[in-house]
Amino acid sequence: MYRKLLDLASRTLGDTLPQERASVLVEDKLRELSFNLWWNWHPQVLELFRQLDPAGWSETNHNPIALLKRFEPGALAARAAELSLENTISFHYRRLQEYLNGESSWCAIHAGGLQATPIAYFSAEFGLHESLPLYSGGLGVLAGDYLKSTSDLGLPVVGVGLFYATGYFRQHFDATGWQTEEYGHIDVAALPLRRPVGPDGAPIMVDVPCNGETLHAAVWVARIGRTLLLLLDSDVEANPPYLRELTARLYGGDEVTRIRQEVLLGIGGLRALRALEIRPAVMHLNEGHSAFAILERTRERLEEEGMSFDDALRETALQTVFTTHTPVEAGHDRFAPDLVERELGWLRAALRLEPERMMALGRVDPGDRHEPFCMTVLAIRGSRRRNGVSSLHGHVARQMWQRIWPGRDEEEVPIGHITNGVHVRSWLALSMNRIYDRYLGADWPARQSDCAAWRPIANVDDSELWETHEVLRRYLVEFVRRRAGRPELLDERALTLGFARRFATYKRGTILLTDLDRLAGILGDPARPVQIVFAGKAHPRDEAGKKLIQELIRIARDSRFERRIVFVEDYDINVARHLVQGVDVWINTPLRPMEACGTSGQKVVLNGGLNLSVLDGWWAEGYDGKNGFAIGDGMVHADPAVQWARDAESLYRQLEQQVVPLFYDREGAAPPRGWVERMKRSIMTLAWRYNADRMVADYVRHGYLAAGGRLSSA
């Protein structure tokens, strides 16, 4: 399969590199390295780019393509020679070629049957790197981490998403701490994207009916190691202005924009695969946004194989895997019947369905004529393997959607769970990576999902681990000071708490402010200082979320907390990387059970930080009593106000009685023994499970093998 995907990549993307390695110029090698996001999880390659132009590296937001463009023709080779980097460049170039062409992989051994035909992975957002802002938060970062792991494991996957011309917004604050949004324009020429061409040499385009006209979309391809990502872009000349705008913003616009984006993602996405001659064995829908792909695949079967609608839908469902990501109601798109008919009447006609029959596909109760069309319901009805993203969330999802199977007990509802994980080397600090290399053996990344591989963490020298972590904390403090332009902020040696995530109300970002006197007492002890770094965006239309941020900023500016509480502007993958690598404690305070999984705390584990979290999402299954700290006991009060008060009390008590004393329990200059022990226990008990390689392997075992195996003849 690799060969096929790779050949496809070189054929359609017009790679022009000469075959003879010896004749490849330094510039070409660097360009090739910059155009495959593989560099993103190979710190030595990152370092190589940085060395070429350290100032340019930060000014371009760590974007190697933009960085290379800053060199005049010919200057790049001269610069490489000046720094004696030619051998290093050739070395990494060869490593990339070997990575791309390697025959042995996890997939070849464990899922050989899946190598024949790829898996199509649909997602409305992909968070791969800060220079490619096609994500808003956890869902996108998860999709990005997933793609990187499929590449590492050798699983043939093609991601399908949308290209948003202005990306997601950049966050600023006005004088009152109110969030404002800035939408920049992404310079495509500075991104690792190429337009694939067809046999006739013309760039591949896809068409979808829209509003009585034809919506045209360009296709961009990004390479993430061995994995490909297709991105559809409506900003092409053939479209009228209002349709060119369609993909301008991620989660922007009204519900008409929304449904049209989803038509383009699901239906256009499948058509883009077709145009590239990719016939997926499995369709994996990451959240319901792309569920129209089910109807498009069904339509193809109807027309090509002459099946009845019911048979065609059943066949499609058998090859479809669906992951639902949230118990929050607003996270499930619902469209009014007349809107669905207006935008998808053409498809309904092609499927030979009556309007009510079409609507029933998106209704929990097919007979309820007032129920809107829900994308999650369509995804559930059109798939055979469905999962939530943690054990607890699986349970919640079964409850939530039980009514789709009237008469079935909750435990019989066919929705399972696969807990999310993070792409380890994208989030791991270089210095921690070195410790792992030395104590776990250099091949540890390939064994990262094996519990036994992490046992030698027990042997890591306490001082070495502690000192490494102290340096990472200092980097974080320096980063925050630099970003804020305020060198007086924070204290390099103080116990540092982090809280960063989307500011949705259920995440209760202000729970730490419940009792300001008590908080001041915790932070202000001169012998045992504590500080907090906050970050996060609110959705542009979420006034309540913006109020929470404003409240935090007001407190951060209060003289009692000045220098000890900081709110970092514009949370993105770059800010997240600094935070998860440098904090001592990561706080998460969702209203249980609204956090489906949460992944930022998993990134913290890898870097030696400890979690202090409500027993929700992944932490409800990961916490063992000694590998971090828990807020509350997992019980939920029916009244959210009571629950808030209880969790606030528990949070303060944990900080006062457990976290702060353990952190500052030291003899002389020695590291805090109890704390370091907990760091080790956290890594040992959690890292092997909450990584994306394990997650992808679970999808292979519990989803793709069954779905793909059945349809390998299709």
In angstroms, the CA 236 to CA 214 distance is: 12
Q: Could you give the string, one character per residue 603-632, with x where binding to ligand PLP holds by CB under 6 A and - elsewhere?
A: x-----------------------------
Give, as one character, the DSSP assignment of residue 687. Answer: T
Site for ligand PLP contains 476 (CB under 6 A): no
Q: How far is the CB of 529 from ligand PLP (least distance, A)?
A: 26
Stretch that binds ligand PLP, among 248-256, 305-313, 516-524, 592-600 (CB under 6 A): 592-600
Of the residues 576, 676, 686, 695, which one makes contact with ligand PLP according to CB under 6 A? 576
Q: How far is the CB of 376 from ligand PLP (least distance, A)?
A: 19
Half-sphere exposure of residue 428, counting CA atoms within 13 Å on the CB side? Answer: 21
Q: How far is the CB of 138 from ligand PLP (least distance, A)?
A: 3
Of the residues 233, 287, 572, 698, which one makes contact with ligand PLP according to CB under 6 A? 572
Stretch that binds ligand PLP, among 37-45, 323-331, 405-413, 597-605 (CB under 6 A): 597-605
Of the residues 64, 133, 137, 628, which one makes contact with ligand PLP according to CB under 6 A? 137
Give, as one character, the DSSP assignment of residue 494. Answer: S
Q: How far is the CB of 141 from ligand PLP (least distance, A)?
A: 4
**Segment 494 to 513, residues that bind ligand PLP, using CB under 6 A:** 501
Q: How far is the CB of 507 from ligand PLP (least distance, A)?
A: 8
Of the residues 166, 171, 581, 599, which one makes contact with ligand PLP according to CB under 6 A? 599
Residues 6+ apart with CB under 8 A from 163: 134, 188, 193, 218, 220, 231, 232, 233, 247
Q: How far is the CB of 359 from ligand PLP (least distance, A)?
A: 33
Q: How far is the CB of 142 from ligand PLP (least distance, A)?
A: 7
Q: How far is the CB of 35 from ligand PLP (least distance, A)?
A: 23
Of the residues 67, 80, 134, 141, which one makes contact with ligand PLP according to CB under 6 A? 141
Q: How far is the CB of 24 from ligand PLP (least distance, A)?
A: 35
- Max intra-chain CA distance, the chain: 79
Q: Is 475 helix (H, G, I), strand (E, B) or coil?
A: helix
Each residue of 239-277: b (16+ CB within 10 Å) or e?
Answer: beeebbbbbbbbbbeeeebbbbbbbbbbbbbbbbbebbe
* Per-residue tokens: 12: 């359609």
Q: How far is the CB of 147 from ligand PLP (least distance, A)?
A: 15
Q: How far is the CB of 378 from ligand PLP (least distance, A)?
A: 25
Give, as one character, the DSSP assignment of residue 222. Answer: E
Site for ligand PLP contains 598 (CB under 6 A): yes
In angstroms, the CA 285 to CA 384 distance is: 12
Packed helices 43-52 and 75-82: angle between N→C axes, nearest 10 degrees:
110
Site for ligand PLP contains 343 (CB under 6 A): no
- By beta-carbon proximity to ligand PLP, the closer residue of 297 and 603 is 603
How far, in Å, are 56, 270, 361, 626, 708 from residue 283 at the CA level? 40, 9, 18, 40, 9
Q: How far is the CB of 523 from ligand PLP (least distance, A)?
A: 23
Q: How far is the CB of 326 from ligand PLP (least distance, A)?
A: 10
Stretch that binds ligand PLP, among 183-191, 365-373, 441-449, 565-573 (CB under 6 A): 565-573
- Give backbone dihedrals phi and psi of 75, rounded to 5 degrees, phi first: -70, -25
Q: Is 173 helix (H, G, I), strand (E, B) or coil?
A: strand
Of the residues 56, 133, 138, 421, which one makes contact with ligand PLP according to CB under 6 A? 138
Stretch that binds ligand PLP, among 98-106, 245-253, 511-519, 570-578 (CB under 6 A): 570-578
C-beta separation of 122 from 285 below 8 A:
yes
- By beta-carbon proximity to ligand PLP, the closer residue of 154 and 617 is 617
Residue whose tokens read 């695969």: 273
In angstroms, the CA 657 to CA 273 distance is: 56
C-beta separation of 137 from 325 below 8 A:
no
**Segment 211 to 240, residues that bind ligand PLP, using CB under 6 A:** none
Packed helices 309-318 and 292-305: angle between N→C axes, nearest 10 degrees:
120
Of the residues 149, 234, 261, 600, which one makes contact with ligand PLP according to CB under 6 A? 600
Q: How far is the CB of 440 from ligand PLP (least distance, A)?
A: 23
- By beta-carbon proximity to ligand PLP, the closer residue of 156 and 509 is 509
Residue 373's DSSP bridge partners are 335
Strands 213-224 and 320-323, sheet pairing: unpaired
- By beta-carbon proximity to ligand PLP, the closer residue of 121 and 499 is 499
Site for ligand PLP contains 130 (CB under 6 A): no
* Per-residue tokens: 523: 């932070």
Residues 6+ apart with CB under 8 A from 692: 145, 146, 148, 149, 420, 421, 422, 423, 424
In angstroms, the CA 117 to CA 2 distance is: 10
Residue 588's DSSP bridge partners are 613
- By beta-carbon proximity to ligand PLP, the closer residue of 31 and 170 is 170
Stretch that binds ligand PLP, among 113-121, 439-447, 567-575, 654-662 (CB under 6 A): 567-575
Q: How far is the CB of 713 from ligand PLP (least distance, A)?
A: 39
Interface size with ligand PLP, residues (CB under 6 A) = 12
Question: Long-range pairs for 503-506 at CB < 8 Å and ≥24 separation?
Answer: 503/536, 503/537, 503/538, 503/542, 503/545, 503/546, 503/548, 503/549, 504/328, 504/538, 504/539, 504/542, 504/545, 505/544, 505/545, 505/548, 506/328, 506/590, 506/591, 506/594, 506/595
Of the residues 359, 573, 585, 679, which one makes contact with ligand PLP according to CB under 6 A? 573
Strands 227-233 and 334-335, sheet pairing: unpaired
- By beta-carbon proximity to ligand PLP, the closer residue of 206 and 614 is 614
Residues 6+ apart with CB under 8 A from 44: 88, 92
Q: Could you give the string, one character per residue 516-555, with x where binding to ligand PLP holds by CB under 6 A and - elsewhere?
A: ----------------------------------------
Cis bond before residue 593 (omega within 30° of 0): yes
Kindly list the residues in this chain that would bind ligand PLP in the complex (CB under 6 A): 137-138, 141, 501, 571-573, 576, 598-600, 603
